[in-house]
Amino acid sequence: MAKKHSRRRLKQVENATFTAQILEIFTTSPYQFFNYKQIAAQMNISGKEDKDKIRLQIAEMVQNNVLVEGNRGKYKLNPVHIATQEGNLIEGKISMKQTGKAYLLPLQADAEDIYIAPNNTLQALNGDIVLVHLFPARKGRRTEGRVVKIIKRHKELFVGTVKKSRNMSYLVADNTSMPIDILLPNNALMGAKDGQKVVAKITEWSEHARNPFGKVVKVLGVPGDNNVEMMSIVIDNAFLPDFPKEVENETKKIPLQISEKEIKLRRDFRDVFTITIDPSDAKDFDDAVSLRALPNNRFEVGVHIADVSYYVKEGSSIDKEAYNRATSIYLVDRTIPMLPELLSNEVCSLRPHEDKLCFSAVFELDIHGKIFKQWIGKTIINSNHRFDYEQVQQIIEEKKGLYAEQILTLDTIAKALREERFKSGSINFETEEVKFILDENAKPIGVYIKENKDSNKLIEDFMLLANRKVAELIGKTAPNVEPKPFVYRIHDKPLDEKINKFSTFIHKLGYSIKSNSRKSFVNSVNELFTAVQGKGEQNMIETLALRTMQRAIYSSNNIGHYGLSFKYYTHFTSPIRRYPDLMVHRLLEKYLVGKNANIDANTLELKCKHSSDMEQRATEAERTSIKYKQAEYLSDKVGQQFEGLISGVSKWGIWVELAQTKCEGMVSVKSLSDDFYYYDEDNYRYVGQHSGRIYRLGDKVHIKVKAVNLAKKQMDFVFVNIDDKNLPF
């Protein structure tokens, strides 16, 4: 018996030694491929039995992720294995440049970006989640690394233009962050013609090949056609314009009539004054406000939200598609809805003079916005009127009109809530929205800036109140009580490095901010915004302040909302167009009736991350559609002059935003021929070496439109009147 154990142990030692010898060969040449015969030769092994042993051992090492297989039965050391041994691995998102170089944006918020050279990207593309092996740090050099594993592809479909040749065609991607072309065999074009826009999918990408092979999955049409361009933007950002057939079929089966049984389960607001206020072109009305005067000189204000969860059942085809989309997209000329139009514009939309099911937050408060009671639950409403923002603004300004008394009361309470919010530390960011006047062919014939007036803020303040109170209801718990899993809208504090950089810069302009505490920082930022109103540096300072802030995201881990100064905040008020709001409705309903089981926090967090990612993609799509329409608007204005503000500076040139239309183009450094200008990155400016002339972020300038590239959505400007007597004004 002892001899048997001894032989087994000896065999294990021999196998371990054998494995170590194989591993040493691969480790000595970590980037070279070997087949089992080449390994055997290096080990001086010639017998068939031992060669088979090597082959089996290599297969086991592949299975254990120590080796990776290449072409024709050759293997090399897995880069992940190398990096794991060295302990220098970091996960993040790739930001790819057109040149092929890239930067890793680590998942940790406080980690610095990592440079990745073009030959170290391992076929990663823009937006991919990857694992990077960090190179040893070198004094005075930026941190660099090499992609060793692609964890998740950012997208599968690529939009671009087909370039045909006799033997092989290729796709030139629309997105400038795609540094390579996709090779398209001529039998995989789906009939696409040279110069047409198509949607393609990568089918094969060999390890040593620079370009992948692909196939066309959809022909969009001729570049420059409005519908083609808008669909290109939508698909390029991983959204699909049409709903699957099973979703459309399931939608048709939804009952349109509300049963008496369901009505009896709800609080009835059909006889209470209720209105909706939305943009003039909106069709998906997912929020309404009600007002009722109470005998104690107080008011009952209801914030009524479309009860989408009643119609869209969890796990249904409609629900799965809504989750995949996660948000509606609002392009310049169309909406790509999260839900089919029958739901978003009809069944769930809170249209006037129709009974509608809602999830509501109802508050008893006084004219000064002080809350005495609140109730949250299921309701039924019937809106008295559908207003747009312009109509309500006119009533507020003229203090007369349809339902003027009720609207003015709501406006007074909203202003009180707003004032209290800013006293409590909300940052007073004002944003501008670009809107276009389109002709019958969707060509822009005018551009204007939509102002955020009292009518907009009225709705905003009541929605903020409802979102905050819903989050508090679930998130606020007694000491030592674990909060229930929930979806929060969180906004982390800005990084100290960014605050210090911003503070240093504005100090040079005679301004200052305090950063010793959150309260002092917020108060000083709000005071700064007031101080720069109407001044030349207003645009620059407001832009830099916004860039200092982090992006708000969804999470099940509540850290509060820094910008709003809310300890608890969620999104409850737009379930027709945002999936997280639908998640909140479902969770809230369960908790209100005492159902706490079967809610997995990890799954919830994954859904939050997906929703945040899709929100960012939707924002990019919306911005791209605006950029395209801006370029289209300027395309027949080449040679014309406009006033603008310097909106950005880079080593390539100076970005200028036109004052009236917000169209943004670049003045190339090469066009600054009157002097040699050097780039002062720390101070966001260019300085003339001989003249001392300065072009700084926020400066007013005068430009001429030099060229417009509609395909690339690029506008090229040149400064005019550049001489000693005509400095930027």
Q: What residue has token string 């949607």?
A: 199
Q: Position of tokens 């000491």?
A: 479
Residue 409 lies in a domain: yes
**pLDDT at residue 682, rounded to an integer:** 82
Query: Are residues 460 and 312 part of one domain?
Result: yes
Task: Enter the tokens of residue 454.
Answer: 């009292």
Q: Is residue 236 part of a domain?
A: no
| pLDDT tens, position by position, 230-271 | 999 999 998 988 999 999 999 999 988 999 999 999 999 999
In angstroms, the CA 288 to CA 294 distance is 20
Q: Are 668 and 704 in contact (CB under 8 A)?
A: no
Q: Is residue 523 part of a domain?
A: yes
What integer is the mean pLDDT of 75-101? 77
State residue 434's pLDDT score.
85
- Evaluate if residue 642 carries a pLDDT over 50: yes
Tokens 């509606």: give the residue.
Answer: 328
Query: What number is the average pLDDT over the span 73-100?
Result: 77
Higher pLDDT, 274 or 100: 274
User: Is 238 a domain residue?
Assistant: no
Q: Percent of the chain beyond pLDDT 70? A: 94
Q: At what angle do helices 601-634 and 579-592 cross, to 10 degrees?
A: 150
Question: How much is the pLDDT for 5?
Answer: 44
1 pLDDT higher than 60 = no
Q: In this structure, what DSSP letter does residue 342 have? A: I
Tens of pLDDT, residues 541-557: 887 888 889 999 999 99
* Same domain, residue pair 596 and 451: yes
Is the CB of residue 469 less than 8 Å from the CB of residue 569? no
Encode 141-171 in three state secondary structure: CCCEEEEEEEEECCCCEEEEEEECCCCEEEE
Q: Which pLDDT does position 84 carry in this prediction?
A: 60
Q: Which domain holds residue 91?
A: 80-152
* pTM, to two decimals: 0.84
pLDDT category, 85, cuts 50, 70, 90? low
Among 243, 247, 246, 222, residue whose Cα is nearest residue 232? 222
Together in a domain, 468 and 503: no
Same domain, yes or no, for 48 and 95?
no
Task: State which amino acid sits at residue 652.
Answer: W
The pLDDT of residue 727 is above 60? no
Mean pLDDT of 373-397: 97
Looking at the fold, whether 354 and 278 belong to one and the same domain comes out as yes
Predicted pLDDT of residue 9: 46
Helix (H, G, I), strand (E, B) or coil at 718: strand
Instruction: Find the mean pLDDT for residues 545-574.
Output: 94
Q: How many domains does the chain have?
A: 6
Which among 247, 327, 314, 330 has a CA at the least distance from the CA of 281? 330
Q: What distance in Å separates the CA atoms of residue 372 and residue 375, rounded to the nearest whole number?
A: 11
Whether residue 87 is predicted with pLDDT greater than 80 in this model: the reply is no
Q: Which amino acid is at 477?
A: T
Confirm if 614 and 673 have CB atoms less than 8 A apart: no
pLDDT value of residue 35: 86
* pLDDT of res. 728: 42
SS (H, E, C) 555-615: ECCCCCECCCCECCCCCCCCCCCEHHHHHHHHHHHHHHCCCCCCCCHHHHHHHHHHHHHHH
Q: What is the CATH number of the domain that holds 669?
A: 2.40.50.140
- Tens digit of pLDDT for each residue in 4-56? 444 444 444 455 667 778 887 877 777 678 888 888 888 888 888 888 888 88
Q: Tell me if 468 sits within 8 A of 569, measured CB to CB.
A: yes
**pLDDT tens sequence across 694-722:** 998 888 899 999 999 988 899 999 999 75
241 SS3 class: coil
- Is the pLDDT assigned to residue 184 strictly greater than 80? yes
User: Where a domain ends, among 77, 106, 121?
Assistant: 77
What is the per-residue pLDDT for 660?
83
Q: What is the pLDDT of residue 110?
A: 62
Return the SS3 of 202: strand
Helical (H) or strand (E) element with 363: strand 355-365
Based on the domain organization, do 340 and 375 belong to the same domain?
yes
For strands 371-382 and 267-268, give the pairing.
parallel
Query: Does some domain include residue 481?
Result: yes
CATH number at residue 68: 1.10.10
32 vs 40: CA distance, rounded Å: 15
What is the spatial distance between Cα 273 and Cα 290, in angstroms, rounded to a whole number?
5
In the chain, the percentage of residues whose pLDDT exceeds 90 is 59
Instruction: Name the packing angle between helices 2-28 and 48-63 (round to 10°).
Output: 70
Measured CA to CA, the distance from residue 309 to residue 307 in angstroms comes to 5
Contact 167, 186 (CB under 8 A): yes
Could you tell me if 358 and 459 lie in one domain? yes
Co-location of 663 and 541 in the same domain = no
In a domain, 9, yes or no: no
Q: Classify residue 416 by burial, with Cβ atoms within 10 Å: 0-12, 13-18, 19+.
A: middle
Q: Which of 166, 500, 469 is nearest to 303 (CA)?
A: 469
Give a yes or no: residue 627 inside a domain.
Answer: no
Residue 626: inside a domain, yes or no?
no
Indicate the SS3 state at residue 173: strand
Q: Is the pLDDT of residue 403 over 80?
A: yes
Q: DSSP per residue over 600-656, as a string?
A: -HHHHHHHHHHHHHHHHHHHHHHHHHHHHHHHHHHTT-TT-EEEEEEEEEETTEEEE
* Single residue among 108, 126, 152 that ends a domain in this structure: 152
| CA dist., res. 216 & res. 202, Å (int) | 9
Q: Which of 164, 380, 176 is nearest to 270 (CA)?
A: 380
* 354/459 same-domain check: yes
Lowest mean pLDDT among 111-125, 136-150, 167-181, 373-387: 136-150
- Cβ neighbours for 625, distance < 8 A, ≥ 6 positions apart: 230, 233, 331, 332, 333
Q: What is the DSSP string of 192-249?
A: PPTT-EEEEEEEE--TT-SS-EEEEEEEEE-TT-HHHHHHHHHHHTT--SS--HHHHH
- Co-location of 461 and 560 in the same domain: yes
Q: Name the nearest CA neighbour of 373 among 483, 294, 304.
A: 294
Last residue of one domain, picked from the residues 58, 77, 96: 77
pLDDT reported for residue 619: 94
pLDDT at 581: 98
Both 172 and 305 in a single domain?
no
What's the pLDDT at 662?
Answer: 86
Q: How far apart are CA 361 and CA 571, in angstroms?
A: 13
Strand partners, 274: 290
For residues 397 and 375, give the distance between their C-alpha atoms in angstroms, rounded to a whole number: 32
- The better pLDDT of the pair 55, 356 is held by 356
pLDDT tens per residue across span 648-673: 888 889 999 998 888 999 999 999 98
Same domain, 604 and 470: yes
How many residues in total does the chain contain?
A: 729
The predicted pLDDT at position 24 comes to 79
Q: Which residue has the tokens 């692909």?
A: 214
Chain segment 451-473, per-residue pLDDT in tens: 889 999 999 999 999 999 999 99
Q: How far apart are CA 9 and CA 417, in angstroms?
A: 77
